Amino acid sequence: MKKIFLFPGQGSQYPGMALDFWEASSEVKKLFALASDVNGKDMKTLLAETDAAILKRSDVSQMTVTLANLSAMCFMKERGLAPDGVAGFSLGEYAALATAGVISTEDCFRLVKARGEIMQATVDGSEGGALNTGMGAVIGLSPQTITALLDEWNIDGLFAANFNSNRQTVVSGTASALAEAEALFKSNGAKRFVRLPVAGAFHSPLMRSAVERFALPLEGVLFNDPCLPLYSNVSGKRITSGAEAKRLALPHITSPVRWTDEEASIMADGFEAAFETGPGRTLAGLWKDANNAVPCHAAGTVQEILKIESSI
């Protein structure tokens, strides 16, 4: 069975995530130790004691979600369930890069630590960013309809950010732009407008200053050619070289996540099963929305992975 691992991004975090992997696996304990060394904080204590409000900060969530993703991947491999391809949603693409051998696990943690701190500083306004920004998911309208409405309204500070499925698109913007857009989307047939538990207007031009600052820590990191099929949020297509992966890392911060295109590329490459390898079930839901012919299984806890192992 040809398997692809899908790694979730920010917004999937919750207190206590991945601690079951720490309890179950000596290899995961090593991952926690490495992440703790890089972060300068004990990650087990952080995950056990931090509440949801703090976890949603980019300077906390980017390290913790990446650790949770890689812990799930590690436990999957220990159970004989290695991936034949990888993709990640937004931040999740860094776990995919590490799993595909493009960057080392240590460099993965170093990059997401720097990225999270830079992005949090941007949304806090301390590094030239916009204060009071966020993201909202528009449910029940097609991406084409949403794109047309955004062009028609031309609301200052509002951008399409994530093309998640045929019935869900995420927009990024300032607080005032999101408030205006919520009312307009609902009056134009949207079933719901859901604010996301993230710290800012990610995947939009409002994060431009973060791109400039992230260029420096990115510059010194070695990017190898992928040893597994690996897919890009920016292009929606397969990444063919380390040089391409590194080039895409900067626009990845401000470009929309083209997840629907990415899913189409994955399906065209003949995968027979997908696994959401990390916290939550968001990607499994988006996969189902796309009516893909193969299943996507939640693989974010020890219990879920043991259930998968017993059924294969």
State whether residue 187 is helix, strand or coil.
helix
Report d(CA 62, CA 190) in Å as an integer.
30
Residues designated catalytic: 90, 203
C-beta of residue 292 within 8 angstroms of C-beta of residue 265: no
* DSSP state at residue 135: E
Backbone angles phi, psi at 3, to 5 degrees: -110, 140
> How far is residue 48 from each of residues 16, 17, 51, 124, 301, measured CA to CA in Å?
5, 8, 9, 26, 15
The CA-atom distances, in angstroms, between 18 and each of 34, 72, 203, 225, 306 are 15, 7, 26, 29, 15
Rounded distance, CA 189 to CA 15, Å? 35
5, 99 Cβ separation under 8 angstroms: yes
Rounded Cα distance between 113 and 63, Å, is 6
Residue 169 and residue 139: Cα distance in Å, rounded?
Answer: 7
Kindly report the number of other CB atoms within 10 A of residue 120's CB atom.
21
Q: Using the 8-state DSSP alphabet, how is residue 257 labeled?
A: B
